[in-house]
Structure 1
Amino acid sequence: MADTSSDNDIDLAALDFSNGVTYNANLGVLEVPKDVSSFTIEIPTVDDNRYEGDETFGIVIDGQTVTGTIIDNDPITLSLAGGGEVSEDAVYAEFTLELSNPSDVPLTLQLQRVDGTTDDNDFTTTTASYNSGTEDVDIPIIGGEIVVPAGVTDVDIRVGINDDDQYELDETFELKVSESAALTTNGVTGVTASATISDDGQIGGNPGGDNDNQAPTIDLDGEDFEVIFESQSAGQSNVFGYYMVDDQGNPSDPVVLIQDSKSGISSQTVLAELDSLDNVEFFLIADGADSTPDDATLSFNNQGELLVNGQAPTEPVFLSTDNSEQFNVIDKGNGETEIRIEDIVLGNSDQDFNDLVVTLRPSASSQGDGYQNTFTEGDSPVAIVDEDINIQDDIDTITRAEIKFTNLKPMTLLGLI
């Protein structure tokens, strides 16, 4: 007996012959009684729980061969669990793929991420693996497909999540696993499981996880943010400033805030007051004080390079729009942002990020209080905030706002225009 079956598929010890025919296992021959001209042979198959596909075998008797086919009755059904609600800083969303029974042959499956409100920018790398009993073994994902080794019934699939600092509301996606060779009951329809990426500090309605949903900043007098000098410990005389970036990412309008970082500036000095941090970026010219005098004109060329008096500085220039590793930006969680700058290329520096330290913080009136106006009863109405009031939030639309009054008198009217 041969072909695609094995000793595990056929019970040779239970062979059954009709008409008195017997099998002499010692001699390997059939013994047929006198006058018997025909007989049947029954070969029991082993009913296991493994998918093997249809298998063939052959019997050779006195040079004559007949074949048989074992029809497999253990089709594989795929099931997919996991996903659920995960925090954006969870690194990945985890799914578990289960095969209803093991397969004796490798099984090729297709993986597909189906975006709901997510897109490619929300994800990193997807990985797959199984546990051999002693260790986790990676399964390569090639062209969106994995090959599950024979015998494996559980596969761990991790869809990598990009942890950015942008509040995006809850975002949903699905993972679909399908099989195109009709070896499973699911086939090309496949199985799916969904996941929700949360970055609002809530998981399942309870506090937890990443929170990019920062409270809106309400500026009552039209002055938004102060740029505060904290400290410097550089051996170089650095030039520091800010510039604007348009919607296409083009830089313009550079402004020097510190002409020489070693000039003895006092800590907590307010370097600038900015109406908004929208489209504001920062630059540092390392040891550029001598080549950037007080009356120097700074600009950008068409290639986005910073120029001093029309020439590119010979000293290194670091721009925050380049996602430069020289800038370490820290959200201090109280509305303040600390920027720590390394003035030597990281590969050659001590990487302490204290060569220049500045803080961006809302001005006192930008905290939602501190603006005052006086109304005399009987006179014309007055504004309770400046005409330049600015409300900044990290998502496009503010859906709810609350105004509270103290010492409110009857018949006081409030108008919103």
Structure 2
Amino acid sequence: MHLYLHVPFCRKKCAYCGFASAPAGPGDMSAYVGALIQEMAQRAAQAKGRPLQTVFIGGGTPSLLPAHELERIFSAVRRSFAWSEDAEICLEANPDSVHSEDQVRAWRNLGVTRVSLGVQSLDRDVLSFLGRSHTPEQADSAVQYLKRAGVENFGLDLMWGIPGQDLGSWLGTLREVLAWQPAHLSLYSLSVEPGTPLAALESGQDRIFCHSQNQSPEDTSRQFIQDDGLLAWPDEDTWADMFLQGRELLVQAGFEHYEISNYARPGWKCRHNSGIWRGEEYMGLGPAAVSTLNAVRRQNPGSLAEYIQMIDHGHPWPAEESLPLQIREKENKMLGLRTNQGIDLTQAQPWLDRDLAAEMQEAGLLEVHRGRLRLTPQGMLVSNEILARLLW
């Protein structure tokens, strides 16, 4: 079984972020940790004694939590659940919240075995446009602190397909981060989430955005916004080249492309996410956290105040649905097709449209590898359309 803990705090909201997160008010962190510990006690029995294979502490920015609050969380997890001896314990962090080797060593002493660092870009203007609170120099410092503190298993999150970004700058970013020798890279194409500042900018409702201190808003806007006022997204061919040539660069550097957005050096795949993609059960605790456990999917309220109220009053989860076997199998196929393992053809026969699959193979979008059906790199570019046609 896997455990996800959602920490809903961040230094400031990024322009693209649709996650349940916000800057912490006075007393919020302590109140949140108290409610999280209560939820663990309330729900521990659902684990049925199964040991945790992984714990993923995400957000938000979990690295903003003071050491004593993290210690409270780890102590409660150990009291509430059995642990596998080799459990992967991952903590998400932003570069500007990683301050020293001692801080990282304290995380390791608590049990953290993996750190996922939200770098997103090494371009100062892009970071400003995205509303990120760190600088390229802080990203480099954070990586050095991790390495000097003995964290070999660290991953970096990066964004591509950003307005104003071209192929050369993207490949240059990848070459720069490869010099840091990360164990893992997650590469996400920027998308517009409803209700975010980026969505307002895209719709023309807002022309106010972050900009670097040494440029005026007008100078910065020309890099990201076209003359017609629309965001300067890379064209379709450039977007595809960013994915395909970025993939080729990382594969040549020794990374395995094991899921559409994820690359790992041998032996360093993210075990938590890999378990989810295999359809294994997980419990999510904290605001907005989702669980898929015992054939039921639950989601906690996203508001911190509503979450604390729910825990304090023992209210039932507001969003809960049963997952019949047919739905679980379909979701597992969808997740499996996103990975380089694909799905077992012998198990796909009852539902697979063989003519459609053959058509997609002929088009170079699907392939059969060692008896398993999987997406090709070209197919990954249009994965949503392929999955929708195959599975729905």
Which has more strand, going by share of residues? 1
Give the TM-score of the pair, scaled to structure 2. 0.20
Which has more helix, going by share of residues? 2
Q: Which has the larger radius of gyration?
A: 1
Give the TM-score of the pair, scaled to structure 1. 0.19
Q: Which has the higher contact order (CA 8 A, sep 6+)?
A: 2
